[in-house]
Amino acid sequence: MATIDASIAPARPARRTDWLGRSAIFCYLAIAAGQLLFVAFILLYYYPPTLTGNFAAWDNKPIIKGFVAGDTAGNIFFAVHVLLAAVITFGGLVQLVPAIRNRWPALHRWNGRLYMLCALALALGGLWMTWGRGTWLNHIGAIGITLDAVLIVGFAALAWKAARQRRFADHRRWAIRLFAVASAVWFMRVGYMAWGLATGGAGIGKAMDGPFDIFLAFANSLLPLAIAEIYLRAGAHGTPLARQATAALLGVSGLVILAGSAGAWMMMWGPYI
Ligand code: HEM
């Protein structure tokens, strides 16, 4: 536990018993549990058919546009996308653990470069699949994920630049923002499941065009980003009350993530592997 504390706990001198630091660790562990389930699903569902060329098997579960006979470019983009999805999701979790960064700084640097390359490839490849290949259900969803891609590219550039210039406090802030938006597609799935469990699916349209769909199309990146921003600010110069309120926010977020991740495994991922 204490080893995680140093990186995800606030930038201010570490107070290890502080509620904000504890909640940040709890929230990280909830995210890690949910993202490891996502990685397991990708490794078990997408890797075997993709690595053996059996692309038609992608469509054994409902997706918008997976394998299309004759569309070599589109199929290759999809293949690369799902292969990199597991790398970036696992790599992001590793990158946030300070024990790894402190003990093996070279691993942190190389994993960081790999993470940023994957982020760029997923964002740019995803943009092409959305607009070039026409993989979308409605325009709101397509615009929402486009915003996410723009944020990923922008934050990756700023995190990389700050690291190159050895501005490590800035690097940490941009890297946390990058992690928030690069996790958006995972968060969307978890968000749908948590909302579904809580409300039975209120506001979800048949063509994913209901009020909740529209909200989540943008909230999948902007909500984690806002929470990350509140956390960064409370950690850097928050009053004791602000730190406690932020600790409560992170605690609730962690619980929602755990519920949504369990739901995603039971409904979206587990049944297909
Ligand atoms: C950066 C992190 C990302 C990860 C980890 C990721 C992961 C995935 C995964 C696992 C799939 C397979 C579909 C499924 O089983 O649900 C997928 C499909 C797809 N992704 Fe991404 N993705 C990311 C970013 C993006 C971005 C930024 C865009 C768009 C700008 C995008 C566009 C797409 C599209 C269009 C599909 C095909 C969807 C379908 O046919 O149903 N992805 N992605």
From ligand 1's centre to the CA of 5, what distance in Å?
Answer: 31
pLDDT for the residue 13 = 47
Q: What's the total number of domains in the chain? A: 1
Mean pLDDT of 7-31: 76
144 lines ligand 1 (CB under 6 A): no
* Residue in the block written with tokens 């290890």: 16
81 lines ligand 1 (CB under 6 A): yes
Query: Is residue 228 included in any domain, yes or no?
Result: yes
- Hey, whose CA ends up nearest to atom 9 of ligand 1? 82
pLDDT for the residue 176 = 98
pLDDT in tens, 214-266: 999 999 999 999 999 999 999 999 999 999 999 999 999 999 999 999 999 99
* Nearest atom (ligand 1) to Cα of 61: 15
pLDDT for the residue 69 = 98
- What whole-number percentage of the chain has pLDDT above 90? 93
Full residue range of the structural domain in which residue 79 is found? 20-272
Query: Is residue 12 included in any domain, yes or no?
Result: no
From ligand 1's centre to the CA of 100, what distance in Å?
Answer: 28
Greater model confidence, 75 or 17: 75
Query: Is residue 209 included in any domain, yes or no?
Result: yes
Query: Is residue 202 included in any domain, yes or no?
Result: yes
pLDDT in tens, 58-106: 999 999 999 999 999 999 999 999 999 999 999 999 999 999 999 999 9
44 lines ligand 1 (CB under 6 A): no
State the DSSP code for 128. I
- Hey, whose CA ends up nearest to atom 16 of ligand 1? 63
Query: Is residue 6 included in any domain, yes or no?
Result: no
Kindly tell me if the per-residue pLDDT of 6 is higher than 50: no
- Residue 183 pLDDT class (50, 70, 90 cuts): very high
Rounded Cα distance, 202 and 267, in Å: 17
**Pick from 70, 72, 42: nearest CA to 58:** 42
pLDDT for the residue 8 = 55
Alpha carbon of 197 to those of 34, 180, 252: distances in Å? 16, 23, 15
Kindly tell me if the per-residue pLDDT of 17 is higher than 60: no
Query: Is residue 4 included in any domain, yes or no?
Result: no
Query: Is residue 13 included in any domain, yes or no?
Result: no
Rounded Cα distance, 148 and 220, in Å: 8
- Hey, whose CA ends up nearest to atom 38 of ligand 1? 64
From ligand 1's centre to the CA of 119, what distance in Å?
Answer: 11
133 lines ligand 1 (CB under 6 A): no
Residue 264 token pair: 């995603």
pLDDT for the residue 50 = 98
Instruction: State the alpha helices, DSSP H only, in the chain.
Output: 2-8, 19-41, 47-51, 72-95, 98-103, 105-127, 139-164, 168-182, 184-199, 211-237, 240-264
Kindly tell me if the per-residue pLDDT of 16 is higher than 60: no
- Hey, whose CA ends up nearest to atom 12 of ligand 1? 82
Is the C-alpha dihedral spanning 32, 35, 37, 42 positive or negative? negative
pLDDT for the residue 115 = 98
Kindly tell me if the per-residue pLDDT of 4 is higher than 50: no
- Residue 1 pLDDT class (50, 70, 90 cuts): very low
pLDDT for the residue 239 = 96
Query: Is residue 200 included in any domain, yes or no?
Result: yes
**Pick from 85, 87, 35, 78: nearest CA to 58:** 78
150 lines ligand 1 (CB under 6 A): no
- Hey, whose CA ends up nearest to atom 32 of ligand 1? 126
